[in-house]
Chains A and B, each alone.
Chain A
């Protein structure tokens, strides 16, 4: 019986310890340096006189909404800023930090929305590039 009591107390102590950790109540621990690497801050629309600033469509996915703001200058894509990104699912947040800057670089290099998706971040890439393509289409219409 004494052994059972010991096991019971040890189990309860273990559970208390486990549940005192912050992730055990459904929270995630934020990533170190999250948000820093995303990209340049989005310019306010119309703020750039010699450049055209166009917002892409807000693309809805199961992990949230992705929307980009594109700055055009001299007939080229000068910059892509992220207005909205995935907010749901811890691993999607990790992929935000990882895939969005990489996509921006690829797009600026290629000057097009037709670039490879980032491997492991298919949903994020497709939404980003979709929003970007809609912004490019809109810029051509003006």
Chain B
């Protein structure tokens, strides 16, 4: 293995440019909708009674629909968008847009019913019934709204925690149906679309593109990649108490262009339960003929994965993730891992470009037994001249800390960092571990004077 096997990519990897372009595209889509509304006399009509309510209803409806579109696109796994923003951030944006569009949708319903009721002099309930029963596409819209509200309600944190992830995810797919059912009423009743063919073409094109992106990148591309690389389970190796590594031989994996620090979504075709997908990080630098992921079999599906027999076919999505060499800004690096968070750090330790003594790895675990992959980490460190600091031991009980209880008694969080890592402030820091641990580590790094732009992590789970 030679240190310069993988070339150092251009700084930032063009991610900023892509992120700005994507953000501009989103803003443009929103602006066009508002322009549509204004050009149909929206502003002027706001003042009139009855008409004002209906006009405001149109604006909220248009923007809600637009945000739904952006949510679909944010989750469409478009590689270009993924590289720009990272899946963790996209998921957070998706969540934020989801709640916003739900409230706008509610406002749209209330305003339109109230506005029509004023103009026809009918009661609110009679008006609502008339709208649903008589107006084109409205029964579909009601069904679509019900599905979207169901999906949003299930995604509220308190509800989300009570539903098993797989079930939640399947139910979440109803959002696509909800969006699809809500679309026709916009084109058949929306004054802008009924009266302007250009607006209708624009709307259809936008939704057509979103649907195409979804099919291409969530269905087509994964199937095509899985077929091209033909990954199978080669061996499942028991690493420690409940940690397993799965070795996956495949073809032409250099063309998959997976990078150390990235993850893929894996589906092991073991028979019953095969459709459940799991995102796991690559736990070694990807090779042309083999990938490997390492996982903790804590979940109820872990036993199925650990019991996969050699030869089991594997479907993949990805690679995803931006916790790669592309984020790096300087020469010196600190990798910080806790628990199973070691897996992407182990891949980075092997695959990053660095000279003798330029890289330090800090590895936290609850006990020495849980320092999985330790032998191979030692071997790589010896060959590449990396410094590895193992910190096994239970966490302190009194305060949130990234340290062991023993060290936390003697040092403040940031002091321990500066003691352990020479020239800390100039390093790029890559973090992976449980969210509370990462939060404590980030705070310690900030206190020790490492600028936030040098701290790289991905925050999943909510």
Q: Chain A interface (Cβ within 8 Å of chain B)?
A: 1, 4, 7, 11, 14-15, 18-19, 21, 23-24, 26-31, 62-63, 88-91, 94-95, 98, 118-122
Write the chain A residue with the least CB distance to B273: A1
Write the chain B residue with the least CB distance to A11: B177
Flag whether B205 is at the interface (Cβ < 8 A): no
* A88 neighbours in B (Cβ, 8 Å): 194-195
Tally chain B residues at the interface, Cβ within 8 Å. 34
Rounded to whole Å, the gap between the CB of A65 and the closest CB of chain B is 13
Let me know if B189 and A122 touch, CB within 8 A: no
Given A21-B139, A24-B139, A29:B195 Cβ within 8 A: no
For the complex, what is the distance from the CA of A122 to the CA of B195, rounded to whole Å?
16
Let me know if A14 and B143 touch, CB within 8 A: yes
Let me know if A1 and B272 touch, CB within 8 A: yes
Let me know if A119 and B138 touch, CB within 8 A: no
From A63, A90, A120, give the contact of B136 (CB < 8 A).
Answer: A90
B49, B50, B54, B118 — most chain A CB neighbours (10 Å)? B50
Let me know if B45 and A89 touch, CB within 8 A: no
Rounded to whole Å, the gap between the CB of B274 and the closest CB of chain A is 11
Given A14-B143, A120-B49, A23:B137 Cβ within 8 A: yes
Let me know if A23 and B49 touch, CB within 8 A: no
Flag whether B385 is at the interface (Cβ < 8 A): no
Q: Which of B99-153 contact A (CB under 8 A)?
A: 115-116, 118-121, 133-140, 143
Write the chain B residue with the least CB distance to A4: B170
Write the chain B residue with the least CB distance to A23: B136
Write the chain B residue with the least CB distance to A61: B195
Let me know if B134 and A29 touch, CB within 8 A: yes
Let me know if A31 and B54 touch, CB within 8 A: no
Rounded to whole Å, the gap between the CB of B62 and the closest CB of chain A is 16
Rounded to whole Å, the gap between the CB of B406 and the closest CB of chain A is 49
Rounded to whole Å, the gap between the CB of A59 and the closest CB of chain B is 15
Flag whether B34 is at the interface (Cβ < 8 A): no
Let me know if A23 and B138 touch, CB within 8 A: yes
Rounded to whole Å, the gap between the CB of A99 and the closest CB of chain B is 8
Let me know if A120 and B139 touch, CB within 8 A: no
From A15, A26, A62, give the contact of B188 (CB < 8 A).
Answer: A26
* B138 neighbours in A (Cβ, 8 Å): 23
For the complex, what is the distance from the CA of A23 to the CA of B136, rounded to whole Å?
4
Q: Chain B interface (Cβ within 8 Å of chain A)?
A: 40, 45, 48-51, 54, 115-116, 118-121, 133-140, 143, 170, 174, 177, 181, 184, 188-189, 191, 194-196, 272
**7 residue pairs A–B, Cβ–Cβ below 8 Å:** A18-B143, A28-B134, A28-B136, A63-B195, A95-B119, A95-B120, A122-B45
* B184 neighbours in A (Cβ, 8 Å): 24, 26
Let me know if B189 and A91 touch, CB within 8 A: yes
Rounded to whole Å, the gap between the CB of B390 and the closest CB of chain A is 44
* A30 neighbours in B (Cβ, 8 Å): 134
Rounded to whole Å, the gap between the CB of B259 and the closest CB of chain A is 35
For the complex, what is the distance from the CA of A30 to the CA of B40, rounded to whole Å?
26
* A120 neighbours in B (Cβ, 8 Å): 48-51, 54, 115-116, 118-120
Let me know if B134 and A24 touch, CB within 8 A: no
For the complex, what is the distance from the CA of A29 to the CA of B135, rounded to whole Å?
7
* B134 neighbours in A (Cβ, 8 Å): 23, 28-31, 90
For the complex, what is the distance from the CA of A99 to the CA of B51, rounded to whole Å?
13
Write the chain A residue with the least CB distance to B135: A90
For the complex, what is the distance from the CA of A13 to the CA of B194, rounded to whole Å?
30
For the complex, what is the distance from the CA of A62 to the CA of B49, rounded to whole Å?
20
Write the chain B residue with the least CB distance to A94: B120
Rounded to whole Å, the gap between the CB of A123 and the closest CB of chain B is 8
* A122 neighbours in B (Cβ, 8 Å): 45, 48, 51
Let me know if A27 and B136 touch, CB within 8 A: yes
* B170 neighbours in A (Cβ, 8 Å): 4, 7
For the complex, what is the distance from the CA of A69 to the CA of B174, rounded to whole Å?
53
Let me know if B45 and A62 touch, CB within 8 A: no
Rounded to whole Å, the gap between the CB of A18 and the closest CB of chain B is 6
Rounded to whole Å, the gap between the CB of A87 and the closest CB of chain B is 11
For the complex, what is the distance from the CA of A19 to the CA of B137, rounded to whole Å?
9
Q: Which 7 A-B pairs have the closest CB atoms?
A: A120-B119, A120-B50, A62-B195, A29-B134, A119-B50, A89-B194, A90-B135
Rounded to whole Å, the gap between the CB of B461 and the closest CB of chain A is 25
Given A18-B139, A28-B135, A62-B195, A90:B49 Cβ within 8 A: no
For the complex, what is the distance from the CA of A23 to the CA of B134, rounded to whole Å?
7
For the complex, what is the distance from the CA of A120 to the CA of B116, rounded to whole Å?
8
* A90 neighbours in B (Cβ, 8 Å): 134-136, 188-189
For the complex, what is the distance from the CA of A15 to the CA of B118, rounded to whole Å?
33
Write the chain B residue with the least CB distance to A7: B170
Write the chain A residue with the least CB distance to B195: A62
* B139 neighbours in A (Cβ, 8 Å): 18, 21, 23-24
* A98 neighbours in B (Cβ, 8 Å): 119-121
Rounded to whole Å, the gap between the CB of B181 and the closest CB of chain A is 7
* B48 neighbours in A (Cβ, 8 Å): 119-120, 122
For the complex, what is the distance from the CA of A76 to the CA of B86, rounded to whole Å?
74
Given A18-B181, A120-B120, A24:B49 Cβ within 8 A: no
Let me know if A23 and B119 touch, CB within 8 A: no
* B191 neighbours in A (Cβ, 8 Å): 62-63, 89
